Chain A
Amino acid sequence: MTRLRLAALLCATALPMAASADSILVQSTTSTANSGLYTYLLPIFTEATGIEVNVVAVGTGQAIRNARNCDGDVLLVHAKPAEEQFVADGRGTSRTDLMYNDFVIVGPADDPAGVAGLEDVQPALEKIAGAGALFASRGDDSGTHKKEVSLWAGTSVDPSTGSGDWYRETGSGMGATLNAGIGMGAYVMTDRATWISFKNKQDYQIVVQGDADLFNQYGVIPVSPEVCPSVNADAAQAFAEWLTSAAGQEAIGAYMVDGQQLFFPNAPE
């Protein structure tokens, strides 16, 4: 019986740790979290507004699904068509462009497919497939994965025919896919922010970059209080407005890792 009382006591101490009144939960893509942007950015916002921000960092696909379940106040991801669909379905109040960076393809130093220096991404992908070199894909319905799939669609190659052979779908986050890809010597498409802050690069380097198709746009969407009455709508709106305000945009642009800017603010004036 003592045991039960103890359990009740411990549970009681655990429960109040639910998010406090003036706090919001952001369902976010991983790149913004893993690159350290939030660690830098959120204290500035909290300082300015007194609103605590908690972040669940998952793939864009899962972040959107979680937000559809009302398990979050703000959505911050990078898959524009899916985000627009989210708003069109009435799940979000409005979508605003927030910032961008770009995707790059990284590969081993010996570059088995000979794609280093190419500026057009589709020919590079075709070359990788043609050479039978390994390519590690997220395969997890994330923003990066959606982007990659759309790039393959513009080539003559259907990578799914090579699935399990040269086309390796990890079904994991960006970091895990980079770890796996580097471990097996595969090419990997990643967002630049994650790559710059990634610490297990070994002999890998960027082999393809600069194509306009590799543009990576992030958007921010407050979750609709009409569909999800549980959301902290005011704070969510305040967060989205601050991010897209001059102050927020300036802060995003000022974030550097190893002397490189990771995200480029581009919210509409």
Chain B
Amino acid sequence: MREAIIHGPEALIEGATPASNLLPLRVEGLTLDLGGRRVLDGLNMELGPTGCTVILGPNGAGKSQLLRALHGLLQPAAGVVDWNGVTPAQAMSRQALVFQKPVLLRRSVAANIDFVLRSRGLPRARRDDLLDHVGLAHKARQPARLLSGGEAQRLALARALATDPDVLFLDEPTASLDPASVNRIEHIIRRATLRGARVILVTHDIGQARRMADDIVFLHGGRVTEHAPATRFFPHPETLAARAHVTGGLVL
């Protein structure tokens, strides 16, 4: 599977340093049961040190669960998740996860960032830069839970980036957002990649996958059925399921 380790072209152009010593990631025989149902079934995968990996797959393929298992939020029934010699639990503090529905604290926008900074003992001075970075500086004093969907997700991103994570997990971050918001969020993610964060993105949006992905992991039936550079995956999906997914067909 050597060819499956992809180096993102943008990352190489910008000369970003490889994310960290958490990569490469090696997953072997990952099996996960949830509520008596087998969600991941002996999944194998390897991810290289840089770039943006997009996980695609039909509904119920286990994409979100894979993300959580990689991050250490879900305990697998069997298999190995190996962050370059480190377990997910050990790697967790150097990673961040942005949820599809952002979990914002019942505090002001600024306080949501402050909370993360304080929990890591980071200087509060970073907060204004972060809010500026995601275009929320003017809303710093507002209650976070009154933000629009797009603003909320940008705040969640700023919060995730506050700790300068080596790995950034994104679970459908732009689901049900308007195109302008999607655009801004993708821009923020791209900049995170350029700064060296290893991004692993789950999405249903094929267009987003085309725009963002350096490589594609296609999940079907709890396994990786295809892993290829985006430049090869989209013109020539190898499996029937992937082809159907990309063209909007039904996968049975």
Establish whether A and B are touching in the complex (CB under 8 Å): no
Give me the interface of B with A, judged by CB distance under 8 Å. Answer: none
Give me the interface of A with B, judged by CB distance under 8 Å. Answer: none
